[in-house]
Structure 1
């Protein structure tokens, strides 16, 4: 299997022409780049993702996108083509803007509606996707160990005073594993800018299985006060009962782990620092 040498439009155009000789390429430009793929916009109505290396879970993503039912609470990418000699995937482009860019313009009602729709979506995929089938297609465990946090547990300061009881709580309790989106942050959620309604979810390349609260904790990125609502709505939408404290613990530990990750870009570490301080100021040591 070959890979692109980088985010190069002409190289991508040549690869697409070789793999899909009947495809009309009217335009091709760079899209927003991912951690493990080079992204291009094809003819303004399709997204093409070329894997950077073997770490891109193409097989697993293909499985989950095909396994999900046709009718879901929100739109998802639908696979159209998959490369053979060079690893790429082509999907129809979903309309909308990223929720992360629009959240601050939402009023309270719009925020609550957005959270409710996202929780319903997660409850649907968690209850729909078969765990045994996922494992058979190479989907791996997301064990939420937060190794960077655990390696630094001797550190001092308010973050660590909050991290120690959070680690004890998540180690003492678990929920039945589900197939997870596993990257459910605001950059992967689309909204209609005219109505402020959530419309779609993208990027299933990190699909894994594990505690459903791993997916749910991403929603605390928008409002830390939503954990109780998230837990209630998840159960009402057909999900198994979950502990709102666990959602908060996983949010805090995941944020701290990403802050400690030496590969995290500095601009993102600044955001993580703010999120950690907000969490400790709001909830104290509990």
Structure 2
């Protein structure tokens, strides 16, 4: 953290808190930082960036991201639940980045809570690229990308990396490797998609979830996992190949099934086969858990996209649901 001159009080300028009232969607922010507030906070904590242009880059459930000076991506939590993940990113990403074959963000600027902003935030050099969910290449054009993802996950899930850099990480705090838990949490998402008029119930989805209710989580050794690896967190370059993996707020120790869910939500046919060939053997119980999580994440993204007018993401998320239950 940069030290030096006395900080001027920002006092949450441009930081809005939703008013009290009826229940709001779970993705609504508790604190939302504007570009103006981000510029003040960043310039105050890091004088070398004072006056640099700040523009909105991306918004998720848990964080708002700003591009600073055309070079740095700064992440500000939107909800208190995201704070432990921000702290884990700051601690873990520098330790694992050198071992991975794709770029990931490495915090360069870190700031703790203050009277100006109640939670930590950090900045890293921007990883150029577009979300897989935004590019939406045809399934048959995803094979080279899939091979890269498989190799990336093989490196990330290496037991030696967990032994070296995984100390202190929680063990699957969201129970994403547990098919029974994920199945129960998927049904309300599906109900919402039906109410929103963007999805019709099908037996393939129902059968997958019914089977999952009777399955235990895989019992392999836990490894370091991204924790929320989906089509928004895989960046593509202009050539359609992988440019990097972002948004590590759910990094933890867990069964590899947690990350292998992207094989079933983001890829199909020969592309999926290429990913799994690059990754290595996946036993049936791990595949089953990965498919259920793929369905759960895709349904969650679809609900958010349909509720917030993100048409391109909705199309990709619904396609991900179909892939998850396909052979």
The TM-score with structure 1 as length reference comes to: 0.79
The RMSD of aligned alpha carbons is 3.3
Deviations along 1:131-187, one digit per CA (max 9) or x if unpaired, are: 58535255653422353633759x99613223222443x417433211100121222
Match of 2:225 among 180, 188, 205: 180
Is 1:255 aligned to residue 295 of structure 2? yes
- Equivalences, count: 271
> Match for residue 202 of structure 1?
246
SS at match of 1:171: coil
1:119–1:233 Cα contact (<8 Å) kept: yes
2:265–2:294 Cα contact (<8 Å) kept: no
2:260–2:290 Cα contact (<8 Å) kept: no
1:177–1:212 Cα contact (<8 Å) kept: yes
- The 4+ residue runs of structure 1 with deviation greater than 6 A are 260-263
CA separation of 1:96/1:162 partners in 2, compared to 1, >3 Å: closer, same or farther? closer
> Match for residue 20 of structure 2?
none
Is 1:164 aligned to residue 188 of structure 2? no
Instruction: Determine the C-alpha separation between the residues in 2 that align with 1:260 and 1:118.
Output: 22
Q: How many angstroms does 1:275 deviate by? A: 4.1
> Match for residue 156 of structure 2?
125
> Match for residue 173 of structure 2?
141
Match of 1:111 among 135, 142, 152: 142
1:142–1:209 Cα contact (<8 Å) kept: no
Is 1:68 aligned to residue 102 of structure 2? no
What are the residue-to-residue correspondences of 1:179-258 with 2, within 5 Å?
Answer: 179-193=224-238, 195-225=239-269, 226-235=271-280, 241-243=281-283, 246-247=286-287, 249-256=289-296
Is 1:93 aligned to residue 137 of structure 2? no
> Match for residue 79 of structure 1?
107
The TM-score with structure 2 as length reference comes to: 0.70
- Which ranges of structure 1 fall in alignment gaps of 5 or more residues? 236-240
Instruction: Determine the C-alpha separation between the residues in 2 that align with 1:265 and 1:101.
Output: 12
Q: How many angstroms does 1:227 deviate by? A: 4.7
Instruction: Determine the C-alpha separation between the residues in 1 that align with 2:247 and 2:226.
Output: 8
SS at match of 1:136: coil
